[in-house]
Amino acid sequence: MSTNITISLKSSHKILFINTLAFTISFAAWTMNGVLVTYLVDNGIFNWNVIETGWLLGIPILTGSLMRLPIGLLTDKFGGQKIFTLLLFLCSIPLFLMYFVDSYWLYFLLSSLFGMVGTSFAVGIAFTSVWYPSNWQGRALGIFGMGNAGAAVTTLLAPSLLQYLAQNNPENGWRMLPIYYAIVLVIMGIVFLLFVQNRKPESQGKNISQLLAPLKKIRIWRFGLYYFLVFGLFVAFSQWLLPYYVSMYKTSLVLGGMLASAFSLPSGVIRALGGYLSDKFGARRVMYWVLYSSLICGGLLMVPKMDVLTPGKGLTAKKNGIVDSVTDNGIQFNKEEIVIKPKPQIPENVSIFPESFSWQERLVEQNQKVKKKELLAQGVTLIKFDAHIVIFTILVIIIGIMWGIGKAAVYKHIPEYFPNEVGVVGGMVGLIGGLGGFIGPILFGYLLDYTGLWTSSWIFVFVVSAISLFWMNSVIKKMTDKEMPHLQHKIDN
């Protein structure tokens, strides 16, 4: 018996490795537009505005999210090996065709088609789970979820690859990037076809209506909101951070890609730790840590780079009189010399923390009559805040790590509340979360266009974090209030 179990686990680990590798590659392709669209706009190859750019960043995420539930059901019906192989081959076709893109709408169409590769999460979750016993499910799914790091693979490597491709052909060299992604998908599809054994769950004899019945429960939509934040906005920022760095901090495409990967790489690989923490401390407590961290980091990140000019300490006349003479540095008033604080040298960039600069500007002229308490020189204070790139990046990495932990915590909730409907509930939660990756870049584009602030995207993070935290607190309070009379009854008896 032990030998069979060992062989079974060896086979399972092999499937897990190939599954995770395929998911990592698929996730890298799914988020490719974050780099490629930024490159095309930044280099003037296509003149797409902020809103059009947001749509192109989001449309692959939309198709990859909406189709998660039906693809998950197909995986249960036909098995993960067949569905994953077919998915990889089919999604390579629009990537090959992107070589011929010459308009916005053709790019839009092909992006929506190759975005189907995002359904690899639903396939992989279902396929991984059938290869492991219940005591291995948490670890296996946590390891599989590390494939989210594919976003970091794209943001880290694709900018350098684009620069290399554009050396000899700046206008059309970029067209080879999606070709390379397509080739990798085909190779991965061949691996699945030749080296992976198919397996599907035992049928429970339920029809579609019965399988979808749990979706009527409000708890699923609450879990969906959590996943919208920790996964959906993770996907959104995996793409949005590159144009953010390039436009906000004037970094190069390569440096921006490296900094963006500093957000997405830890968030992807730390998911396994999130599963361990959820097992050890409970998913609810971990979600509290995640939501509070998201709220605090979002609040700090939403403060924009700015110069605030405000009135400062001025100089007033102590009595009526006449201005005898004026200079750049002072005023002689009633035979008394009054020194004016000169304007300091203001650097273009300040230190990590906000700095203030104060000076005074003369308001009176020679021989002017002045009344008591009239202003001789107005005070001016400039508060300069650069939203320093180092502090910004540290906060972004922290929120990315906490979201990575939160992804595992959300999925830890599901088998606790829906032990017999993990597939359909997990698929629906994943769908809602994936929609965040679609809505995010588009909404960020509209917010940027309306407010003129790049940090408006973090305002949205702050709001979603606050709503999630409020909803969670409200539910926990209701549960506690219901349990208190029962506990009191037990104490009394």
pLDDT tens digits for 226-259?
999 998 999 889 889 988 998 888 888 889 888 9
Answer CATH for 2-304+388-485 from 1.20.1250.20, 2.40.50.140, 1.20.200.10, 3.40.50.300:
1.20.1250.20
Q: What is the pLDDT of residue 203?
A: 54
> 411 near 141, Cβ under 8 Å?
yes
Mean pLDDT of 194-211: 71
Report the percent of the chain where pLDDT is more than 90: 30
Given this model, what pLDDT does residue 135 score?
67
Domain residue spans of the chain: 2-304+388-485, 306-385
The average pLDDT across 325-351 equals: 84
Taking a C-beta distance cutoff of 8 angstroms, is the pair 14, 140 a contact? no
Q: What percentage of residues in the chain have a pLDDT greater than 70?
A: 90
pLDDT of residue 37 exceeding 70: yes
Q: Is the pLDDT reported for residue 3 higher than 60? A: no
What pLDDT score does 245 carry?
A: 92
Say whether pLDDT at 492 is over 60.
no
Helix (H) / strand (E) containing 202: none
Minimum mean pLDDT range among 15-19, 22-26, 165-169, 482-486? 482-486
Q: What is the pLDDT of residue 420?
A: 59
CB 308 within 8 Å of CB 383: yes
pLDDT score at 230: 93
Q: Residue 112 pLDDT > 80, yes or no? A: yes
Q: What would the mean pLDDT of 71-96 be, rounded to a whole number?
A: 90
361 forms beta bridges with: 378
Q: Quick one: which of 266, 232, 293 has its CA closest to 400? A: 266
Q: Is the CATH number of domain 306-385 2.30.230?
A: no
Q: Is the pLDDT of residue 4 over 90?
A: no
Q: DSSP of 325-378, one letter per residue? A: EE-SSEEEETTEEEEPPPPPPPPSS--SS-EEEEEEEE---TT-EE-TT-EEEE
Residue 2 CB-density burial (10 A; 0-12 exposed, 13-18 middle, 19+ buried): exposed
- The per-residue pLDDT for 5 is 43
Residue 89 half-sphere exposure toward CB, CA atoms < 13 A: 11
CB 121 within 8 A of CB 68: yes
pLDDT score at 1: 35
What pLDDT is stored for residue 174 in this prediction?
A: 92
For 140-167, the pLDDT digits (tens) are 777 888 888 888 888 888 988 998 988 8
Residue 99 has pLDDT above 50, yes or no: yes
pLDDT score for 190: 96
Q: Tell me the whole-structure pTM to 2 decimals.
A: 0.74
Q: Which one has a higher pLDDT value, 424 or 108?
A: 108
Split at pLDDT 50, 70, 90, the class of 398 is very high
Average model confidence (pLDDT) across the chain: 85
Q: Which residues contact 155 (CB under 8 A, 6 or more apart)?
A: 31, 34, 35, 238, 241, 242, 257, 258, 260, 261, 264
pLDDT digits (tens, 9 = 90+) for 119-141: 898 888 878 878 877 667 667 77
Better-predicted residue by pLDDT, 462 or 485 = 462
pLDDT of 488: 45
